[in-house]
Chain A
Amino acid sequence: MIDVRDVSRSFGRTVALDHVSLRVEPGEIVALLGPNGAGKTTASRIIAGILAPSSGDVLVDGISVRADPGRVRVRCGMVTDQPSLYERMTLRAYLTFFCHLYDVAEAGPRTEELAELLGLTDRLDQRLGAFSRGMKQKVAIARGLVHDPPVLLLDEPATALDPETARSLRTFIVSLRARHRAILLCTHDLDEAQRIADRVVVLYRGRVAREGLTGVLRAAGPPRFVVSFTGEIAAARDALASVGVTAEPANADNGHAALRFDADEPGTTNPAVLRALLDGGLRVITLTREERSLEDAYFAIVAEAREPETRERNG
């Protein structure tokens, strides 16, 4: 289990993390989201015990990262966004080297087990420099798993992977959750986070801007609808504007023109929208509720977090 307690970290005058608290339970995947420079990588490095917090503490399986970073490192497996491999080494030598660093008793069998798990058995005696980017990323994942850690810190693990490999990686991460691993996934890939994360923590400028269950965050905000129709989009937008509804173009499955709009009170707004479109001479085909994506929620959260500084800038 990961328990981040009121952690701050500064580099000179730059505050990378500002009183951040979060928890990841065993068997849970938590996605750590945020724009570049939000503090995701700093947070994962503090949890991994390679960077000391300026204040606050992190407990990994009850062990304080301040008191005993060495024991914390034994419990964490870290996968970085860049594979960062020793490219002159063979896969076998590389994984065996890390098995020895982590005091894995049976280094040889463990190396072969990991290679098989990630489909790299036939590459065991090849130099890593000859591997493709996707294969290198798989090796980085294997490196993070050599000691079968209870806590996994994944920093953009699917970077540069082809869709097929990214999908198999997702399946693999989910299988680790089933084995009661606590997994913190730092990512910019909101689709990936939406698919596999149980909870989401959004960081903005080193602070937690929002935290919650993925489904709850996605459902936040007024209900959203898509109306499809035959006719001009501009005319339809004008019709909706006349009843006080702001709409944006959307893709309709049926090939017709479509508009997307939010409705705080669908019972009142939707009949008004339909009436306005019909009065404008447009033929309505469908009116459906659209599920919000994590991307929508994320942008709303970041915009909200950014609001005070935007206001300040505008005087």
Chain B
Amino acid sequence: MGKAALIAWREIRWEIFGDRGAVIRTGFFALLPILFVMSGRGVQGGPNDISLLVLALQSTLIPALSGVALIASTFTQEKENGTLVPLLASPVRDIDIVVGKLLGMVGPVMLICAGSLTVFYVLGSMLYGASRVANALPPQILFALLVVAFLYLITAGSWVLIIAAVVRTTRAGQQIAGLMIGLSAAVFAILGVAASRIADGWALVGLGLFFVVADIVALEIARRVWQRGEVIGRL
């Protein structure tokens, strides 16, 4: 896994922090928790526990959508610029390339998700009272939210990876990533409604299980699609 970590580190250091535009775009997601917290102010007595949970879920997951676009563009750009060929010609296993690239994108986006959740928690505590927020969002729920965000990123990232292997241009990759983001946003909205009715954390557990199954399927397909011969054949 040493080489996967090396590839991940390169992505983070040079492709994300080396691109000011990407930093500014992802920084936009810091505004979301502020909006979510403020959205609860209109409700008399403030939002109830379930509403706080749903808003926290959305504060955590919506920044993860940026990760999908990031993963799509990194792979299609590599194909378009031909930079994959030297990487494939080096003594690195196929799985190290796939995992390295995924981690390189997922790592920074997870930091943004955690930051967004932290901002939501702190602002919510200031506006609605620390004990109320702590009661609605105990540590195990906060942890579960981050795990769900991580699983979502790996799932969506793997599927985007599969699509990126098939499409020829960055634009096509981004369009498909956009469709995926739209679809994910719709799923999250439905989940929000479902969570508010089911109560407790069972919706999160169900969502987590769904992502685990989707992960296994998607990573296996991604591994097969990203074998050297397959990729080179399409370049």
CA distance A147 to B228 in the complex (A): 21
Residue B229 CB within 8 A of the other chain? yes
User: Which B residues between 87 and 110 are near A, CB-CB below 8 angstroms?
Assistant: 87-93
Contacts of B83 in A (CB 8 A): 84-86
| Residues of B with C-beta under 8 A to A100 | 3, 6
Which B residues are closer than 8 A to A by beta carbons? 3, 6, 10, 13-15, 18-19, 81-83, 85-93, 228-229, 232-233
Q: Given contacts A78-B86, A86-B10, could you give 4 more A-B pairs where the C-beta distance is less than 8 Å?
A: A50-B88, A84-B85, A89-B14, A143-B86
Let me know if A102 and B91 touch, CB within 8 A. yes
Q: Is the interface of B mostly helix, strand, loop or mixed?
A: helix
Complex Cα distance, B10 from A82, in Å, reads 21
Question: Across the interface, which residues of A come within 8 angstroms of B91, CB to CB?
Answer: 70-71, 73-74, 101-103
Report which of A52, A70, A85, A88 forms a contact with B229, defined as CB distance below 8 A: A52
A-side residues, CB < 8 A to B, are: 11, 45, 48-52, 69-71, 73-74, 76, 78, 80, 82, 84-86, 88-89, 93, 97-98, 100-103, 140, 143
Bound together, the chains give a CA A13 to CA B228 distance in angstroms of 20
Residues of B within 8 A of A51 (CB): 228-229, 232-233
Interface centre among B14, B86, B233 (most CB of A within 10 A): B86
Q: Closest residue of chain B to A101, judged by CB?
A: B90
Centre residue among B82, B87, B232 by max chain A CB count within 10 A: B232
Chain B residues positioned under 8 Å from A88 (CB to CB)? 14-15, 18-19
Cβ–Cβ < 8 Å partners of B85 in chain A: 50, 78, 80, 84
B228 & A50 in contact (Cβ 8 Å cutoff): yes
CA distance A79 to B167 in the complex (A): 25
> How far does the alpha carbon of A173 sit from the alpha carbon of B14 in the complex, in Å?
32
Q: Which residues of B contact A93 (CB under 8 A)?
A: 13-14
B228 contact set on A, CB distance < 8 A: 50-52, 69
Q: Which residues of A contact B88 (CB under 8 A)?
A: 50
Q: Which residues in A have their C-beta under 8 angstroms from that of B89?
A: 48-50, 73, 76, 78
Closest CB in chain B relative to A81 CB, distance in Å: 9
CA distance A73 to B91 in the complex (A): 5
Q: How far is the CA of A93 from the CA of B90 in the complex (A)?
A: 17
- Residues from chain A with a CB closer than 8 A to the CB of B229 are 50-52
Instruction: Given A101-B6, A102-B91, answer yes or no on A84-B233 (Cβ-Cβ < 8 Å).
Output: no
Residue of A with least CB distance to B96: A101
- Asked if B10 and A98 make an inter-chain contact with CB atoms under 8 angstroms apart, the answer reads no
Q: Give me the 7 closest cross-chain CB pairs, A-B, nearest first.
A: A84-B82, A88-B18, A101-B90, A73-B91, A78-B89, A50-B88, A74-B91
- State whether A45 and B90 are in contact (beta carbons under 8 Å apart), knowing that A50-B85, A86-B14 are contacts in the complex: no
